[in-house]
Amino acid sequence: MTEIIVVTSGKGGVGKTTTSASVACGLARRGKRVAVVDFDIGLRNLDLIMGCERRVVYDFVNVIQGDCTLKQALIKDKRIETLHVLAASQTRDKDALTAEGVRRVLDELIADGFDYILCDSPAGIEKGAHLAMYYADRAVVVVNPEVSSVRDSDRILGLLASKTQRAEQGNGGVKEHLLLTRYNPRRVASGEMMSVDDVKEILGLDVIGVVPESPDVLAASNAGVPVILNDESDASRAYDDAVARLLGEDLPMRFLEEPKRGFFARIFGG
């Protein structure tokens, strides 16, 4: 059984691609066969975060238009054998992505025996975002504890509940999860930032992961190594917990409180 998971948010810059890359790595690291697909046509970025930008020969739209086979376009990850990336096209043609074309590519990935297909949605609520979520079985809604991100997430939840195949067919709808990123426990404690419980209460959804704000995330994208692969990082552990929860494990949330820091760390930062 293949499960299609969309990583979406509405608002841009909240960590969709970072999350797609890390969750894909996390699932693949546990032996699952994973394809992660960039739906952000015209603004390809997943390849950079995954560190395979120089190996992109063919892309998603090439496959849809029959310029190449899916096999030719899938980029095999060099670190994890069971992980594959399908890059977005850089075309400016907005109509390059069609529902029928997306369905065909997903069907081929399913026939190929992938366990998980991760759809990295573009920001906004336009066609790319719509197609990224349309065939999904589950959705990971990435949200920052910040007003515009929370409101946009609620818009996305509305679309997931109405503009997806599962919603239209009425077979239980898309299973939705929240994933908080850029969480700063210190600012939550001082009342400057909404807490996990606040966001959970407003949106009325279960939280599958809380990723603390961390300099490791930028370092990871600089290097093209998804942050989950940095074993030293709290962000990595938080993503790995989220992956375990996606797979059905019941784990307590970590990193909701500020880590105790030594005297020197407090003075010099870090």
Partner 1 sequence: MGLLALFRRTPSSASVAKERLRIIVAQERSVRGSPDYLPLLRREILQVIHKYVNVDPEAVQINLGQEEGHEVLELSVALPEKTRA
User: Residue numbers of the site for partner 1 (CB under 8 A)?
Assistant: 146-147, 150-151, 154-155, 158, 162, 188-195, 198, 201-203
Query: Minimum distance between the CB of residue 108 and partner 1, rounded to whole angstroms?
Result: 34
Query: Minimum distance between the CB of residue 89 and partner 1, rounded to whole angstroms?
Result: 32
Minimum CB distance to partner 1 smaller for 31 or for 204: 204
Query: Minimum distance between the CB of residue 187 and partner 1, rounded to whole angstroms?
Result: 8
Alpha-carbon gap, residue 198 to 203, rounded angstroms = 9
CA dihedral 23, 29, 30, 36 (to 10 degrees): 40
Query: Minimum distance between the CB of residue 99 and partner 1, rounded to whole angstroms?
Result: 21
Minimum CB distance to partner 1 smaller for 2 or for 184: 184
Burial class (CB in 10 A: 0-12, 13-18, 19+), 268: exposed
Minimum CB distance to partner 1 smaller for 164 or for 195: 195
Query: Minimum distance between the CB of residue 181 and partner 1, rounded to whole angstroms?
Result: 17
129 phi, psi to nearest 5 deg: -65, -40
Contact 56, 87 (CB under 8 A): yes
Minimum CB distance to partner 1 smaller for 189 or for 251: 189
Q: Which residues pair with 85 in a beta bridge?
A: 36, 75
Positive or negative, the CA dihedral 30, 36, 23, 5 is: negative
Minimum CB distance to partner 1 smaller for 23 or for 159: 159
Query: Minimum distance between the CB of residue 75 and partner 1, rounded to whole angstroms?
Result: 39
Minimum CB distance to partner 1 smaller for 98 or for 184: 184
